[in-house]
Every structure is written in C-alpha cells, then in structure tokens.
Structure 1
Amino acid sequence: MQPSAPPDLVLPDLAHNRTSAVHWLATATAMAAVVALAGVLTPDPATASQPGGKPAHAKVAAPDPASVTFPLKCGGAGTTVTRKASGDLDRNGSPETVAAVRCDAGSGTPPSGIYVLTRSGTGDGPARVVATLVAPGEQQSVSALAVRDGAVTATLLGYSSPDVPRWDPDVRQKAKWRWQGGKFVRSVPSQARSV
C-alpha cells in the first residue's frame, strides 16, 4: 500500500500581506514611541519606611581612617593605620570603622591604639573618633582586627615584663567589644597567654 498524498491545501490570497518600506517605517516609528513612552512613565524609586514612618537610611560609606587625626602623640613622626574593619556596630543603619593605629616609627613595634570612627547621622559629615577601645598607653600591638555581627574582635600582643624586647611581644590575648547601653563593653576577659 502506498501512502496517500497530502491533500492540496487551499490558501487564501495573501497578496495584501506583502511588506514594503512604508510598513517597516510605520513599525519602527511605533516601536520608538513605545520605548520613549516607557522611559517617561518609569515609577519613582522605591522607598521603604521603618515602623513609625521614618524613612530607611540610604547606603552610607564607612568612615575613611585616612581622613582622621588620631589622638596619638608621635612627636612629628606621623601615624600609620595598620588594620581596619567596618560594620554597623550600634545598629543604626550606618557603618562605623574600627582602626588600629600606631606612630609611624622607623623601627621597633610602637604600641597601637584601637579607635572607633563614625560620621554624623546623615552620613555626609567628616569622620571622627568616638571611642578608644585600646589606648596606646596599654603597650599593645594588634595582629588581627575584625567586625562581625555588630562586634569588634581583636588579637592583641603585649609583653610580660619591661625586660622583653619591644620588637618581640610574648603575650597574646583575644578581645571582643560590643555596643551596649551607650558604650563599648569588653565582653571577653583579657585571658593572656604566652606566645
């Protein structure tokens, strides 16, 4: 048995469907009008509000330690930021920066200070020091510094006695601070151990 031939299809006369330059020009004009209209009718940027009707904080850059004068007495030697970390420590929506800073000495290991920097509430003012977590007078160096989950953590290096050379700290301790009750509270006791 031979397969049967497909039946002849009767197609309507499609002569009126032929395109011309006028058709393409009309289509291009209509598409351009749609694109232009879509650009004009874009919605306003979305804004979220906090409970109580206050607008959400805009994304603000963390304070730059290079723009701050730190409370160090270096005798004209200048200061060096050895470590820095940023995060929202007081949960207000704006990041703070924590910086480990020491005098820019040519040799040895000068003691470091750990400072918390912030900006004004709008985020457009200059950066400023708002807290000192470790003062240089404590004779500590900072080997690690981080901000995680609203807490500052650091590894501090120090000396067991004045006889230990300043370039070779022999005591290591972990420290952690969290913003509580309007101040930074050290939550990890200073459990010093020899290195």
Structure 2
Amino acid sequence: MAGQDLLHTQPRPMHWLATATALSAVVAGASFVQPPDATATTARSTAAGRHSAAPDPGKVTFPVTCGPNRPEVVKRASGDLDADGTTETVAVVRCHSDTGTPPSGVYVLARPTDPQAAPRIVATLVAPAQQLSVRSLAVENGVISAALLGYSDLNVPRCCPDVHKSVKWQWRDGKFIQSELPAAASTTGV
C-alpha cells in the first residue's frame, strides 16, 4: 500500500469549484454584516455630505398628553431641512380618537449622536395647545409646508373647522421661520 495513490486526497475540478463557491458565499455574506458604527469613507460620500436615514418617529416619546388614549403619528415627511447633509423628519402627532379631530403637534426630529438612542425633538412647529389640526404635510427642497385647520372661537363645533390656512417653515439664522402662504389663507364662516 505504500506506493498506492490515495484517490480521496487528489483534488479534482469539482472539489475546486465547491471550494470556490463556498468561499464566495462567505465573502458575500461578510459584506452584509458590519458593525453598527461602520461608515463609508470614500471621497465621493464625503463630498456628497452626510446623508442619513430619516429619524423614525415611532421611537420618540412626544410631549403630547392623551389621558387614556395613546399618541399616534398620523403624518410624516423627511428631508434635509437645515442644509447640513443629514436628513430630518417632520412628524404630525395627535391623540388617538375614534371620533372627532384632536389637535395636532408638529415636531422636527433629528438623529441622535448616539446611534442606540431615540431620535431627538429639535423643534416644535405646532403645539397641541394651539388647537390646530394638520390636513397635509410636505417637505421639499428644505421647506416644510402644511395645511392647517382651526376654529375661530369656542362655539364652533370641533367636527367642523372654520379656519383654513397654509403655512411654511424654513430654516434661517439657526431657527425655523414660519410664514403664511397668502393664496390659501382664508377664514370662512359656516
């Protein structure tokens, strides 16, 4: 037996193909698994800015008191609002209700510095205490726009807002500046 070749120790083409396939699968799988703090450092991504995923409003505790009901995010829009290369989220939050239209809060969220932390509220554009509801919300080219509904006085039924206005917010001089869009602004009687 000393001079006999051991057939099972001779590499065959099928052996090399199976080895190459297995190695390719391991390398491909490893490219999807990265540590949470991994970042790309190519010249292109640095030049393009620090675009990031939009903050998730589902992870935020909003300053909205709802009693036995729960607050819910009813609208959201995202974009780079302050031209710093990161994405912010604008969230419309109100108390859950099966009837009526509870007042809304409009909040701007930013990513936290700690990737394990919840997004942080960096601005309140509309507080629930203002007794306004948000009919529409959009973010385009760093401008937040919304259609707001409200009431001219306490005698107006809460089902039927009689004040309608369109507003926008833009980041200027370190804060959000609100302006009303005149064409859509109107107060109509019932």
Normalised to the residue count of structure 2, the TM-score between the two structures is: 0.71
User: Which structure 1 segments of 5+ residues have no match?
Assistant: 1-24, 26-31
Residues 69-78 or 142-151, more deviating = 69-78
Q: Aligned match of 2:188 in 178, 186, 194?
A: 194
Take 1:91 and 1:188, find their aligned partners in 2: how far apart are those partners? Answer: 22
Q: CA–CA distance in 2 between the matches of 1:154 and 1:123?
A: 30
User: Residue 127 of structure 1: CA displacement?
Assistant: 0.7
Match of 1:135 in 2: 127
Over the aligned positions, Cα root-mean-square deviation in angstroms equals 2.7
1:175 to 144, 167, 180: 167
Distance 1:107 1:56 in 2: 45
Give the secondary structure class of the aligned counterpart of 1:178.
Answer: strand
Aligned residues: 152
From the two aligned structures, give the one with the greater strand fraction. Answer: 2
Q: 1:170 to 1:153 in 2, by over 3 A?
A: same
Match runs of 1:1-195 below 5 Å = 46-48=42-44, 49-50=46-47, 56-57=49-50, 59-120=51-112, 125-188=117-180, 191-194=185-188
Gaps of 5+ in 2: 1-12, 14-19, 28-39
Distance 1:47 1:71, change over 3 A: same
Q: Any idea what SS the aligned residue of 1:66 has? A: helix
SS of corresponding position for 2:69? coil
TM-score (norm 1): 0.69
Identity of aligned residues (%): 47
For 1:139 and 1:45, how far apart are their aligned partners in 2? Answer: 47
Q: How far does residue 168 in structure 1 lie from its aligned partner after superposition?
A: 1.1
Is the CA contact (8 Å cut-off) linking 2:49 and 2:86 kept in structure 1?
A: no
